[in-house]
Structure 1
Amino acid sequence: MSDSPVQYPEVYSSEDIQQIIQIALARQGEDDELTRKQLWEIADELNIDLQTLQVAENQWLQYKNTAQKRQAFDLYRRNQFKQKTIKYSIVNGFLISLNLITTGGISWSLYILLFFGLGLALDWWKTFHSKDEEYERAFQRWSFQNEVKQTFNSIWQKLYNSWQS
């Protein structure tokens, strides 16, 4: 066996460069952050023109913003499902208790439990299955409603502040 040194390639693909830089940045530690100026300097060294970098940065910001909105939407849906589950438990607990008190057993309340349970199961599917068109439509609807609320609140706040002055 011979001890041959590692042979480094003369040319790297952009994907290889991206992976190497990600590994190097990760090894530096989580506390090390780069400034926007440093980003520009790295791009300059890689012969990436400023306009291309700005377009990429804008795309990244849009992606990050959308990811945060989706995370907020998912949290909203989970909270809605949690509230429905609590209501389901309270109502069905009451009905089962009423059934036990009145008849000494569980008879008619079981049918209501199963019927409401079906609705809860469908809500569970809608809440946690987030890879289809229905999810995307619900997200777009929620996002639009939030934008309208923010716009309305902003206008209302401006009117309120001008009225207070």
Structure 2
Amino acid sequence: MTAFESNSLRSYSQEEVQQILQLAIARQTDDGNQEFSYQQIIEIAAELQISPEAVKQAEFDWIAAQSEVQQRQAFDLYRQGKLKKRLGNFAIVNSFFMLVDFVGGADISWSLYILLFCGLVVVLDIWNTFQSKGEDYEAAFQKWNRKHQIKQTINTVLNKWFKAFQTY
């Protein structure tokens, strides 16, 4: 049996085919920045006996997935910004209490309890900020996403309204 015959007898699952083709396409292009036109994608799909409608639907699904990835990245940046603000507040408030404690008694005593308690709260906040899986994260993301979409809708309506008044 030749190498070609043994290769033709192999069979692969759809997931394995996708992985093999993905690796082959990556190796085909020495330049990782090579781009394919939509027409080239249609031609490749035609060779694989994939209908143009299936490609169009797949592209639509891919665009939607990329949009969600971008929204999640924006949400993560938003959460990290809130964390930085809370860390700054923590530093300012605890510095104030430690200064009052030091000036009032020439040493630091009771302010350490406040520092420890606030430190625990900040550590939990850090944990929650960088936890990007689970129900709590999904609930927070959905809440932020709804709020973000409402703001975008309001901004769009107001922009149209102001443009309408500018034309008069």
Normalising by structure 2, report the TM-score.
Answer: 0.87
Question: Shift in Å at residue 151 of structure 1?
Answer: 0.5
Structure 2 match to 1:123: 125
Separation in 1 of the partners of 2:48 and 2:16?
13
State the partner residue of 2:79.
77
Residue 157 of structure 2, aligned match among 137, 155, 158: 155
In the alignment, does 2:35 pair up with 1:37?
no
Greater than 4 Å deviation, 4+ residue runs: 4-8
Q: Residue 66 of structure 2: which of 42, 64, 84 is its match?
A: 64
Distance in structure 1 (CA, Å) of the matches to 2:73 and 2:6: 41
Equivalent in the alignment of 1:132: 134
Q: Counterparts of 1:8 and 1:32 in 2: how far apart (Å)?
A: 33
Gaps of 5+ in 2: none
- Segment of structure 1 superposing worse, 7-16 or 64-73: 7-16
The one-letter code sitting in structure 1 at the alignment partner of 2:69 is A
Deviation of 1:7 after TM superposition, in Å, equals 7.2
The unaligned stretches of length 5 or more in structure 1 are none
The number of residue pairs the alignment matches comes to 162
Equivalent of residue 98 in structure 2, options 86, 96, 99: 96
Alignment identity in percent?
40
Segment drifting more, 17-26 vs 137-146:
17-26
Q: Secondary structure at the match of 1:105?
A: coil
CA offsets per residue over residues 77-131 of structure 1, 9 Å max, x none?
0111111011101111121122112211111111111221222122112211121
Tell whether 2:7 aligns with 1:9: yes
Q: TM-score, normalised by structure 1?
A: 0.89
- Quickly say closer, same or farther: Cα 1:12–1:46, change in 2 above 3 A: farther
The 2-side partners of 1:51 and 1:138 are apart by: 36
Shift in alpha-carbon separation, 1:6–1:86, aligned structure 2, 3 A: farther
RMSD: 1.9
Q: CA deviation at 1:31?
A: 2.3
CA deviation after TM superposition for structure 1 residue 25, in Å:
3.0
